[in-house]
Structure 1
Amino acid sequence: MNHKSIRRSLLYVPGSSEKMIKKALDLDADSFILDLEDAVGLTEKGLARQNVKLYISHFKARKKEVIVRINDVKTEDGVLDLEAIVEEMPNAVIVPKADEEAVLITNILIKSTEKRYGIKGFEIGIIPLLETSYSIVHTFHILSSSDRISGVQFGAEDLTKELGIERTRDGKEIEYARNVIAQAGNARKIDILDTPFTHVGDRDGLIQDTNNAKSIGFTGKTCIHPNQIEIVNDVFTPNAEDVIKARHLIRVFDHAVDSGKGVCMFEGKMIDNPIADRARKLVMKADLISGLTINN
C-alpha cells in the first residue's frame, strides 16, 4: 500500500472550504482526509470535488498522506467523486456506510479509472468506514473483501443514530463495536482508526477517549479540529522510557535465546517470545515515527 507507515492522527477537512484545506497543509497530522461527504452541503458537492482534485497534489508535494472520503459509492455523487480524484492518485479513499458491495464497487471503479489514466506502480488504498449495525456484525467479511484495504475506520455517530441511542462522553455504548473492529482489523493486519471525539473543547475527554481506543487495539484516531492533533499524536506515540525499557528487554531476551534458552527473567518477570515480540513492535513503531519526523 502507498501510505505512510504510521497513521496516528487523521484530520478531516471539508472539501468545500479552500481556506481550511490551505490551512491544513501546514498542520502536523499524519494524514489528511479531504471530505466530500458529511462535511459538504448538497449544493456544494461539485465545488468540493474541484477543490479536492486540485489540492491532492499540494499535500503530496509536502509528503503528507492524503485520503479522500467519498460519498456513498452506490449514488451518483460517489461515482463522480471517484471519477474526479483517481487521476490525482490520493493515498486512499474512505468508503462510507461500508459493506461488502460498497467495497467491491469502489474497487472496480478505482481499478477501471486507474486503467483509463494509465496509472501503474501506484495502488490507491481503500478504508471502509464502519458505521452501521450491519457493518459491525459483518466486520471481518467487509475487511476481507478487497486487497486494497489498508485500514478501517469506526463511525460512532451514525451507528448510535441508527440504534436510536445517545452518544455519550465516556463511550460505554460503543464498547462492543470498538472491540469488534479492533479484533477484526488486527486479524487483517491493517490500521485501526477510531471515531472522532466530537466535544472539540474537551481536552480531558479527548485524552480519555483516545486512551480508551488505544487500550483495546486501535492504532490511530480521526480528528475534526486541528487542536486535537497534538493530543492524539501524543497518545499513540510510544513513551520514551517505555521504548528504552523495551530495547533493554529485547537485548536480554535475545542473549538468552542465543544461549539456548526459551525464556529469561527481566525486572523480576518471566519473559517469553510473545512478550519480546510486543517489545519489538513497540520499538519498531517508535523508530517509524522518529523516521517520519526527520523526513518531514
Structure 2
Amino acid sequence: MIPSKSALAGPAILFCPADRPDRYRKALERADSVIVDLEDAVTPEQKQAARDHLREWCEDPRNHSILTTDPVRFIVRVNSPSSDFFVDDMETLRSTPVRAVMLPKTESPEDVDRLIAELPEVAVVALCESAAGVARSLDIARHPAVVAMMWGAEDLLASIGGLSSRLPDGRYRDVARAARGTVLLHAAACGKASIDSIYTNYSDTVGLAEEARDASGSGFTLKACIHPTQCEIVREAYAPTPEEIRYARELLAAVNESRGAASFRGTMVDDPLIRHAENVLRRTRTL
C-alpha cells in the first residue's frame, strides 16, 4: 500500500547526500523528514558508491524501524528517468525496504508511471523543476502514486534560459513566484502535500525565516532544507506565535457563543476566517 499524504512528517525536510551514510541518522535527528539524495548531491563518479552505501544502510537491522514504522520520513531522491543512472537506481531500491521516492525533473504523469513500473508500492514526491513540469503539475498531482509535490527554482530558470531565480535583494523573480504558486495550488487541489523549494544561502538565517514564514502562511506543508541548522529555523517559522494561538482560540470561542453572525475584535467573522483559526490550532497539535 502506498503511504498517504498524512504520513509526511514536517515541516522541516532535509536533503542529505547519499554518499555520506554517516550523516543519514544525524539528518533524521535534526529534521522531521530526510531526502537521501542520489542525484545532484552525488557526482557521476560516486553514484555507484552512493547506491552501495544506501543499500548497506537499509540492510542494517538497526535502521529497519525507521524504514518500516515511519516510511515517509526517509525519502530517496533518485536520478531522473531520462538519465543514464535511473536503471541502476531502480535496481538498488528494489532490494531495499525504502517506501518513498522523490522523482526529480518530473514533467508528466508518464514519468511517474515509469517509476511505479519499477517500484510499484512506493509513495512518490514529484519534483517539478522545468517549464514543462510546472505546466503539467496538475496532471502530475492527480496521479494516485503521488503523495507530495515540490518545485525547484534554479533548474526551472535554467530550463527557460534564465540566469537566476532571485533578484539581487534575495526575492524570487516573478516567474519563479508564478511557478511556486502554481505547484502549491495544484498540490492542494488534489489533496497532496506541498514542499517549498530550498533556500540556498544557509548563512542568511533572517532571509530563510522570512521565506519559511511565507511558505507557512501560503499553505506549504513542508520547507526543504540543505543544512541541518536550517531545520529549527523552519520549525520556528511554521509554529504559530502565542498571539496567533490566542487570537484563534478567542475567535472560535466567539463563534461558538454566537447564535448567528459573529463579530470579533471589530470584524465580522465568516467561514474563511473560521478555517484560518482552525488551521492555526491544528498546527499547535502537529508541529
TM, length-normalised to structure 2: 0.86
Aligned to 2:105: 97
Aligned to 1:69: 77
Q: How does 1:29-178 map to 2 (within 5 A)?
A: 29-56=31-58, 61=65, 65-100=73-108, 101-111=110-120, 123-144=121-142, 146-163=143-160, 164-168=162-166, 169-173=170-174, 174-178=176-180
Residues 8, 33 of structure 2: 8 Å contact kept: no
What amino acid maps onto 1:177 in structure 2? A
Q: How does 1:262-281 map to 2 (within 5 A)?
A: 263-281=261-279
Could you say what secondary structure the match of 2:201 adopts? coil
Residues 67, 91 of structure 1: 8 Å contact kept: yes
Could you say what secondary structure the match of 2:106 adopts? coil
Unmatched segments (≥5 aa) in structure 2: none
What amino acid maps onto 2:172 in structure 1? G
Residues 11, 223 of structure 2: 8 Å contact kept: yes
Unmatched segments (≥5 aa) in structure 1: 112-122, 290-296
Query: Once the two structures are aligned, what percentage of the paired residues are identical?
Result: 27
Aligned to 1:194: 196
* 1:15 aligns to 2:12 (yes or no): no
- Tell me the matched-pair count: 272
Q: In structure 1, what is the Cα distance between the partners aligned to 2:154 and 2:222?
A: 17
Q: In structure 2, what is the Cα distance between the partners aligned to 1:94 and 1:226?
A: 19
Aligned to 1:227: 229
Q: In structure 1, what is the Cα distance between the partners aligned to 2:42 and 2:244?
A: 42
Q: In structure 1, what is the Cα distance between the partners aligned to 2:220 and 2:199?
A: 14
Q: 1:225 to 1:30 in 2, by over 3 A?
A: same
Deviation at 1:105, TM superposition (A): 0.8
Residues 89, 124 of structure 1: 8 Å contact kept: no
* 1:249 aligns to 2:251 (yes or no): yes
TM, length-normalised to structure 1: 0.84
Deviation at 1:25, TM superposition (A): 3.8
Residues 183, 217 of structure 1: 8 Å contact kept: no
Alpha carbon RMSD of aligned pairs, Å? 2.2
Deviation at 1:48, TM superposition (A): 1.0
Q: In structure 1, what is the Cα distance between the partners aligned to 2:57 and 2:97?
A: 11
Q: In structure 2, what is the Cα distance between the partners aligned to 1:246 and 1:91?
A: 37
Deviation at 1:251, TM superposition (A): 2.7
